[in-house]
Each structure stands twice: as C-alpha cells, then as structure tokens.
C-alpha cells in the first residue's frame, strides 16, 4: 500500500505541475470568449458622461491594468489591448472591460470611484463563466462547502468503509481516490479551474483503470467492514437527516438544472413538450427589475405568465422533466426563479430512492450488513450531498440504474432501466450493450425481452412529444437542443477545451480527448462481450468503468456528475466475490 500511496501522490503532483502550472503565470483560467464581443473594434479609453465621477476613465483603466491578477493575464496577449471604462452613477463604481483582437474579452472588473480600489477582477474564463469565479456555496451551499463540514464527512466516509485489516491494499486507494475529488473542488471554489480541472481528471483516470481491472480480473478479497452494522445504520440515518436539513436550510439553493426541471414539468402539465418552450428573455415585455449588471431576468412569456428566462433549459432527456411532474403538482411553481419547492422535493425524493435501491441491492447480494454499508457510503460521501443541496436532476439517472441493478436478472427490467436512465442523462446509452449481454452473453430470448423493455420505456418517455400538434417538429427541436447542443458545447471545466490558449502557455489536449473518446466507445463494446459470463460484481465494475470513462472525456464536466457512477463504484468495492472465500464477508 506504501507504493500505492506514493504513486497516487506522484500522479496528483504531476497533474498539478505539468498541466496546471501554466496557469500560475496568470493564476486564473482562461476561457471561451464572451458572446458578442469577439474582435469588436473599440476606441481608445475615453471619458464618458460620468455624472460627477472623481476619477477619469484613463486613470481607472490604468489602475485596473496594474492589478497583479489582471496584469499577469493580460501579459499573455499582444501589447496595447483595447479597453473600455463606464461609470455607474447609482453604485459609484466603474466597470472596466479589456479586449485583445480575435481573442475577445479577456478581462472584466469593477473599480471603486471613491478610492480607486479594484474591487472585482475577472480574467480568462471568469469573464464569460460566472461559475468559474470561485463563489463558495454557489453549488451545494456554503455550509456543506465549509472545510469544517467537508473534511469530517470525507474522513467519515473513509473510516467507515476502510478495511482496517488490509489498509495496505487497493481498496484503501480506491476510497482515497473518491475523496480526493475534494482537492479539485477546493481549487474550483477559489476560481482556479486550470488547477481544478486536471486534479479532477486524475481520480477519474484512476477509477477507470481500477474498475476495468475489477470487471475483467476481479478482486483479491471482499473487504471486511470493521464497524458494527447498527452503528453504520445509525450514522446513515443521522446523515440522511443532516443532508435534508441542509437542503431545507438553503431555500434558494436551486441552480439552473433544478429550475429547468420544474419548468419542464410545468410545461408538461400545461400540455406542452419542454423542447422549444423554455422561458426566453427579450420578449419585449419585461416584468422584473434589472440586476447589478443591467440584465433583466423576468419577462412575459407567450403563455402570458411572468417567468424567469432560461432558454437553454431543455437540454436533457424527457425523463428529466417527467420526474418533476409529481412535485410540480404538489408545489405549483410561480414561474420565477425563487425557492422552487418542487425542485427541492424532487432532489430529496430521488436521493432517497437511490438509498432505498442500494438497500435492496445489498440485501439481495450480501444481506443486511452489505445493505447498510452501501447506504452509509452514499450518505457519507460529500459529493452526493453536493448534488442534493444544489437541487439538480443528477440523482435521477443513478436511482433508475440502481433499481435496474436490483432487478438485473430480468432482461425486461434491465432494458427499461437503461432506457429510462438514458432519456434522463444520455451517458447511459453506452451501458446498453453491457446490460443487454448480462449475464451470459447474447441469446435470442434475452435480446427480445431486453429490447421490449427498452422500447416500451422509451415510448413512455417520449410520449411528451405527443402533447404537441406537430410531434415531428418537436422531435427536431429535441435533437437540436439536446444532442447537438451538448456535442458542440465548449467549457473550461475540463482540460480538453483549452486549445484556443495554446499560444498563451496552456496545453492543447484536443487530440488526447479524441483518442480517449474512441477508446471509451470501444470499451462500451468490449465489456459487452468479455467476459462472456458476468456476475453482479462484474456488472457493477464494468458499468462504473463505462460511466467514468464517459465523464473523463466530457468537455463540460462537473462534480455534480460524480453520483452518476458512484453507486457502481461502491458496489464494485463491496459486493462479495462469487468464488469461495472464508474471509470474504461483510461483518
């Protein structure tokens, strides 16, 4: 295990220094250009009608460019960037923007007119992406992200599931890999995505290799849980209450994903498909006040309601919206991006459904001790609470798959589970070959039953298109707003979309991403055929490998996606071996 620990530290250090070190020059990630300003010709700094401003625009720009953070990043571009400074009489603050030729806007910030202090300075990706600015608590809430909460939860997860008889083992390294995402998150919360992205890729790569190894070669032993079952059960119940309490404590902690689900469910109840019917801005009839940046969020929509705009809210599968219908019926939304009780309720229900599914899986394949260990693992890992308290739809897919795993001996149930989870998050489509051939490869009878379950579940999911007078038109909108948008989406939150900054000292890893994507597609086919006979352990490990591989190659990756694969990594770590092993019990 000493070698394992050393290798893990070295891998993390290499990722941090080789991939992330170029960002040290600017200390900030750099990103896609902002919309509408690419190559915009501007005048030299000018002095607008300042309404009694104490400073001139020339002095404001000079002070902004002298800020160390801004200076480090602007130095990467050709000299004499184009600048603009505008004074807001209401706030007595200057907004400064910096452009550089075709690169577009490269810096944005605020300067106080009273003392000339630079109060905000955003560079690179932080200009176009609010979530790259390091606002602690924007995801998961401030309490969960606090070190005094996050670190104890991570320690609790590790201590609870570690095999203390075999600490020098790969099992220990696997648990450390899961909690090591927290280091990446720490940099993300500081707005340093050039460090957070590669540090998130390291444990993904490790888990991909480990899950493939477990799926193809098996494990040497089944871990023994040291703690009494009753104690793990009590902690799991306590953690469940704590998670729900944190969720309720932050009534406005719903990010755009949760709001999109509520709006989609509301549209379905109104007799519309979600696709092409999301609230848009600039309808000509604003119904809300402008924010600090002068942007109006609330507009009168075609249905006559005042709603908060979210034009890109229809990028998910139809099950992502159908899942919100019961909560929308129970807690009708106002149309505004407010507390959104329906989003909280849906997130809590599907989080609990994952736990219940793990309890059933554990009881079926290992008895009550395994069931409790699995439930404890889900409750203790901070990243599952991170998704819950962000009130996203990211627990819906694993909930469906875990229940499908529980019923895995039924080809119909496996087909239905793959379909429903695929039409929630499209990543599950890669699991179809594996789940089709479980457990003994292809057989005509099993294929027919699997496809029957898949087709029937798909028809139920896409029945929302029949709500429209022209289902074909809506189907076209579905393809355009989901698959095409996701495939073309740029993002700074993985190392793969940094090619535009190659000349700025940032590596271009686009070719590596393409190779990995082809490899993951190949893996999805290989796991379906090898090994020919698969048990629950192999199904769990190979399912985890495919999902982890998919996430590793994503251009836009988020910590919210960890719950997609986590139940299957947990199963791969704790499920008993098929062969006789006197010590292979979960006690």
Query: Which string of DSSP letters, residue by residue, matches 115-181?
Result: T--EEEEEETHHHH-GGGS--TTTTT-HHHHSHHHHHHHHHHHHHHH--TT--SSHHHHHHHHHHTH
Q: Are strands 105-112 and 118-123 parallel, antiparallel or unpaired?
A: antiparallel
Asked if residue 24 is part of any domain, the answer here is no
526, containing H or E segment: helix 510-529
Q: Are 396 and 470 found together in one domain?
A: yes
Lowest mean pLDDT among 153-167, 341-355, 521-535: 521-535
Asked if residue 291 is part of any domain, the answer here is yes
Query: What pLDDT shows up at residue 359?
Result: 98
Give the mean pLDDT of 93-98. 94
Q: Are 114 and 62 found together in one domain?
A: yes
Q: Are 64 and 177 found together in one domain?
A: no
Asked if residue 34 is part of any domain, the answer here is no
> What average pLDDT does the structure give for the chain?
88
* CATH code assigned at 67: 3.10.450
Query: What pLDDT shows up at residue 283?
Result: 87
- Angle in degrees, CA 4, 9, 15, rounded to 5: 125
Query: What pLDDT shows up at residue 506?
Result: 80
3-state secondary structure of 450: helix
Give the mean pLDDT of 283-311. 88
Whether 39 shows a pLDDT value over 60: the answer reads no
Contact 104, 39 (CB under 8 A): yes
Query: What pLDDT shows up at residue 103?
Result: 81
Whether 583 shows a pLDDT value over 50: the answer reads no
Asked if residue 255 is part of any domain, the answer here is no
Q: Which of 93, 84, 92, 91 is nearest to 61 (CA)?
A: 84
Question: Rounded distance, CA 103 to CA 420, Å?
Answer: 42
Q: Are 306 and 387 found together in one domain?
A: no
Give the mean pLDDT of 136-151. 92
Query: What pLDDT shows up at residue 292?
Result: 67
Question: Rounded distance, CA 105 to CA 98, Å?
Answer: 6
Whether 448 shows a pLDDT value over 90: the answer reads yes
CB atoms within 10 A of CB 444: 7
Query: What pLDDT shows up at residue 293?
Result: 66
Whether 276 shows a pLDDT value over 60: the answer reads yes
Q: Are 363 and 451 found together in one domain?
A: yes
Asked if residue 214 is part of any domain, the answer here is yes
Give the mean pLDDT of 30-59. 52
Asked if residue 570 is part of any domain, the answer here is yes
Q: Are 88 and 220 found together in one domain?
A: no
Question: Rounded distance, CA 282 to CA 358, Å?
Answer: 46
Number of domains in the chain: 3
Question: Rounded distance, CA 48 to CA 483, Å?
Answer: 45
Give this prediction's pTM.
0.88
Whether 262 shows a pLDDT value over 70: the answer reads yes
Whether 384 shows a pLDDT value over 90: the answer reads yes
Contact 512, 494 (CB under 8 A): no
Whether 19 shows a pLDDT value over 90: the answer reads no
Q: Are 113 and 149 found together in one domain?
A: no
Tell me the percentage of the chain whose pLDDT exceeds 90: 72
Query: What pLDDT shows up at residue 402?
Result: 98
Q: Are 181 and 238 found together in one domain?
A: yes
Query: What pLDDT shows up at residue 71?
Result: 94
Question: Rounded distance, CA 168 to CA 532, Å?
Answer: 32
Identify which has the larger pLDDT, 500 or 475: 475
Whether 35 shows a pLDDT value over 70: the answer reads no
Give the CA count within 13 Å in the CB-facing half-sphere of 317.
24
Query: What pLDDT shows up at residue 507?
Result: 82
Kindly report the backbone phi and psi dihedral angles of residue 519, in degrees, each rounded to the nearest multiple of 5, phi listed first: -65, -40
Percent helix, strand, coil in the chain, to 5, is 60, 5, 35
Identify which has the larger pLDDT, 252 or 188: 188
What's the domain range around 76?
57-123
How many residues are recorded in the chain?
587
Q: Are 115 and 151 found together in one domain?
A: no
How would residue 51 be classed by pLDDT, with cut points 50, 70 and 90? low
pLDDT winner (highest mean) among 109-118, 406-415, 489-498 = 406-415
Q: Are 461 and 405 found together in one domain?
A: yes
Whether 439 shows a pLDDT value over 60: the answer reads yes
Whether 1 shows a pLDDT value over 50: the answer reads no
Question: Rounded distance, CA 340 to CA 391, Å?
Answer: 10
- Angle in degrees, CA 292, 297, 303, rounded to 5: 165
Query: What pLDDT shows up at residue 290?
Result: 82
How would residue 503 be classed by pLDDT, with cut points 50, 70 and 90? low
How would residue 294 be classed by pLDDT, with cut points 50, 70 and 90? confident
Give the mean pLDDT of 513-524. 96
Asked if residue 28 is part of any domain, the answer here is no
Q: Are 470 and 506 found together in one domain?
A: yes
One DSSP character per residue, 262-293 reads HHHHHHHHTT--STT-S--S-SS-B-S-B-TT
Question: Rounded distance, CA 472 to CA 468, Å?
Answer: 9
Asked if residue 12 is part of any domain, the answer here is no
Q: Are 506 and 439 found together in one domain?
A: yes
Give the mean pLDDT of 380-399. 97
Whether 369 shows a pLDDT value over 90: the answer reads yes
Q: Which of 240, 242, 278 is nearest to 257 (CA)?
A: 278
How would residue 68 be classed by pLDDT, with cut points 50, 70 and 90? very high
Whether 29 shows a pLDDT value over 80: the answer reads no
Give the pLDDT confidence of 187-244 residue by residue, as tens digits. 999 999 999 999 999 999 999 999 999 999 988 888 988 899 999 999 999 999 999 9
């Amino acid at each position: 295990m000493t070698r394992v620990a050393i290798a893990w530290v070295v891998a993390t250090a290499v990722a941090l220094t080789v991939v992330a070190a170029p960002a040290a020059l600017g200390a900030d990630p750099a990103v896609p250009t902002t919309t509408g300003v690419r190559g915009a010709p501007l005048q030299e700094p000018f002095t607008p009608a300042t309404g009694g401003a104490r400073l001139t625009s020339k002095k404001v720009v000079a002070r902004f460019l002298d800020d160390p953070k801004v200076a480090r990043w602007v130095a990467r571009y050709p000299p004499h960037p184009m600048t603009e400074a505008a004074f807001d009489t209401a706030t007595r603050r200057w907004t400064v923007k910096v452009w550089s030729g075709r690169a577009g806007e490269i810096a944005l910030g605020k300067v106080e007119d009273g003392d000339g202090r630079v109060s905000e300075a955003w560079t690179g990706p932080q200009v176009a992406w609010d979530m790259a600015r390091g606002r602690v608590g924007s995801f998961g809430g401030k309490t969960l992200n606090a070190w005094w909460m996050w670190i104890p939860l991570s320690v609790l997860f590790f201590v609870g599931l570690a095999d203390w008889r075999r600490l020098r083992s790969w099992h220990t390294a696997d648990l450390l890999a899961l909690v090591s995402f927290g280091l990446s998150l720490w940099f993300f919360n500081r707005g340093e995505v050039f460090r957070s992205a590669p540090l998130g890729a390291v444990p993904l790569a490790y888990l991909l290799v480990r899950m493939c190894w477990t799926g193809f070669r098996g494990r040497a032993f089944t871990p023994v849980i040291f703690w009494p079952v009753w104690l793990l059960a009590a902690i799991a119940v306590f953690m469940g209450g704590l998670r729900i309490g944190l969720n309720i404590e932050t009534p406005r902690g719903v990010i755009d994903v949760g709001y999109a689900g509520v709006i989609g469910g509301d549209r379905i109840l109104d007799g519309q498909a979600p696709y092409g019917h999301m609230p848009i801005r600039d309808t000509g009839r604003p119904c809300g006040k402008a924010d600090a940046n002068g942007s109006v969020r609330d507009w009168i929509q075609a249905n006559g309601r005042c709603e908060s705009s979210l034009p890109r809210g229809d990028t998910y599968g139809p099950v992502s919206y159908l899942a919100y219908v019961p909560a929308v019926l129970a807690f009708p939304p106002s149309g505004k991006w407010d507390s959104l009780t329906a989003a909280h309720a849906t997130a809590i229900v599907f989080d609990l459904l994952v736990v219940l599914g793990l309890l059933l899986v554990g009881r079926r394949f290992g008895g009550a001790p395994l069931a409790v260990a699995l439930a404890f693992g889900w409750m203790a890992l901070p990243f599952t609470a991170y998704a819950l308290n962000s009130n996203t739809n990211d627990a819906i897919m694993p909930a469906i798959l875990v229940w499908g795993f529980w019923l895995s001996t039924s080809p119909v149930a496996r087909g239905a589970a793959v379909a429903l989870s695929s039409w929630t998050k499209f990543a599950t489509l890669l699991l179809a070959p594996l789940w089709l051939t479980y457990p003994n490869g292809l057989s005509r009878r099993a294929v027919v039953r699997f496809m029957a379950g898949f087709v029937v579940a798909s028809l139920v999911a896409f029945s929302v298109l029949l709500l429209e007078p022209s289902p074909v038109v809506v189907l076209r909108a579905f393809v355009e707003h989901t698959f095409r948008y996701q495939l073309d989406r740029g993002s700074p939150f993985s190392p793969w979309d940094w090619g535009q900054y190659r000349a700025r000292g940032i590596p271009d890893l686009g070719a590596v991403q393409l190779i990995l994507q082809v490899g993951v597609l190949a893996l999805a086919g290989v796991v379906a055929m090898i090994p020919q006979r698969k048990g629950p352990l192999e199904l769990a490990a190979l399912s985890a490998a495919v999902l982890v591989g998919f996430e590793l190659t994503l251009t836009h990756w988020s910590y919210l996606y960890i719950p997609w694969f986590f139940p299957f990594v947990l199963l791969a770590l704790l499920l008993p071996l098929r062969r006789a092993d006197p010590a292979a019990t979960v006690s």
